[in-house]
Amino acid sequence: MPRYLSLVRIQENTIDIEDADAGFQERMGALFEEITKAGVMLDTAGLKPTAEATRLTWSDGKVGSTDGPFTETKEVVGGYALMRCKDKAEALEWSRRFLEVHPKHWTVGVELREIEEMPEREGEG
């Protein structure tokens, strides 16, 4: 079965977990329990703020680095989920359900990408 990476996109400075409604944590916990029991969720986590991040770039044969926060960026990856689903439709359904548990006044997006599986090399597997 294919694996999918769900990149959770947020506007970092506009979302505060303290601003969530009272049922948010319970809804999220119930969804994570369901998706885990279904054997779909392989890994998930939120990410620390971009103020604690560093970007590395390769240009003109050199590696450069920039420490966060990245003020030119409006939307950042705030978390991820690694899922194994039967097809893209199933991955999209879980992603839709994930978005729906969030407070209505938040803006949260998901970029869903199928992971390109590497062919097995001789002697592996």
Structure confidence at residue 8 (pLDDT): 95
Q: What is the three-state SS of 57-80?
A: EEECCEEEEEECCCCCCCCEEEEE
Say if CB 30 and CB 50 are below 8 A apart. no
Structure confidence at residue 20 (pLDDT): 86
> Is the pTM value of this prediction over 0.85?
no
CATH architecture of 3-114: 2-Layer Sandwich (3.30)
What is the rounded distance in angstroms from the CA atom of residue 8 to the CA atom of residue 5?
10
Structure confidence at residue 37 (pLDDT): 96
* Long-range pairs, 116-124, Cβ under 8 A, ≥24: 117/2, 117/3
Domain map (residue ranges) of the chain: 3-114
What is the rounded distance in angstroms from the CA atom of residue 41 to the CA atom of residue 94?
10
Q: How many CB atoms lie within 10 A of CB 14?
A: 11
Q: What is the pLDDT along the chain (125 residues), one digit of tens a residue?
A: 999 999 999 988 777 777 888 899 999 999 999 999 999 999 999 999 999 999 999 999 999 999 988 877 778 899 999 999 999 999 999 999 999 999 998 999 999 999 998 887 666 65
Q: State both tokens at 86.
A: 């039967």
Structure confidence at residue 111 (pLDDT): 96
What is the rounded distance in angstroms from the CA atom of residue 95 to the CA atom of residue 71?
28
